[in-house]
Amino acid sequence: MAALLLASQKWKTALLVAVSFHLHLLCDLIGARGPDLHQWPIPYLLPFSNTWQWTWSGQWALNAWPNMFITVMALGMTLWLAWKKGYSPLEMFSSKSDNVFVATLRRRFPHSGIQTID
């Protein structure tokens, strides 16, 4: 609701929030089983109703290899984009910290074809 109220493009923001929320639920449905083989159902209508819950019998454990692979790939892509573009998600919290982070990445993994943004 806050995103919708603060956004300048309200419909676009609402759509992106809805898509990201449902993508998150889908990912939880696919790969968020507990280590004790307990399935974590997703109560879709909670807190209004607890009657409609999503479950899937093929749910991966939270520490299963597909989740680890996706995590490593996402972190790798984030680091590569920060190195290449000159900014990272850290920029949302602190521009100074983001600059230090990107500079450290670029010093650790230098490439002569990349121009730094100072």
Helix or strand holding residue 54 (H, E):
strand 53-54
Question: 72 and 42 in one domain?
Answer: no
The answer on pLDDT for 62 being more than 90 is: no
Structure tokens at 42: 């997703």
Token digits for 83?
Answer: 């190195």
**Cα separation, 42 vs 53, whole angstroms:** 5
Tens of pLDDT, residues 74-105: 999 999 999 999 999 999 999 999 999 999 99
Q: Are residues 4 and 55 in the same domain?
A: yes
Same domain? 9 vs 53: yes
Task: Tell me: do 58 and 68 sit in the same domain.
Answer: no
24 pLDDT higher than 80: yes
Distance between CA atoms of residues 78 and 102, nearest Å: 11
Q: Which of 62, 79, 97 is the last residue of a domain?
A: 62
Looking at the structure, tell me whether residues 57 and 75 fall in a common domain: no
Measured in whole angstroms, the distance separating CA 3 from the mean position of its chain's CA atoms is 17
pLDDT of residue 106: 94
Q: Which domain holds residue 117?
A: 64-118
Q: What's the whole-model pTM score?
A: 0.70
Assess contact for 118 and 110: CB atoms under 8 A: no
Residues 41 and 10 in one domain: yes
In this prediction, residue 112 carries a pLDDT of: 65
Is it the case that residue 108 has pLDDT exceeding 60?
yes
Cα–Cα distance for residue pair 84/113, rounded to 1 Å = 10
Together in a domain, 56 and 83: no
In a shared domain, residues 103 and 51: no
Q: How confident is the model at residue 114 (pLDDT cuts 50, 70, 90)?
A: low
Residues 46 and 84 in one domain: no
* Residue 117: band (very low, low, confident or very high) from pLDDT cuts 50, 70, 90: low
H or E stretch including 102? helix 95-108
Identify the DSSP state of 19.
H
One domain for residues 24 and 68: no
pLDDT of residue 67: 92
38 vs 80: which has the higher pLDDT:
80
**Same domain membership, residue 74 and residue 39:** no
Q: What local confidence, expressed as pLDDT, does residue 38 receive?
A: 80
- The number of distinct structural domains making up the chain is 2
- For residue 113, pLDDT beyond 70: no
Regarding whether 50 and 70 lie in a shared domain, the answer is no
Angle at 99 between CA 98 and CA 102, to 5 degrees: 85
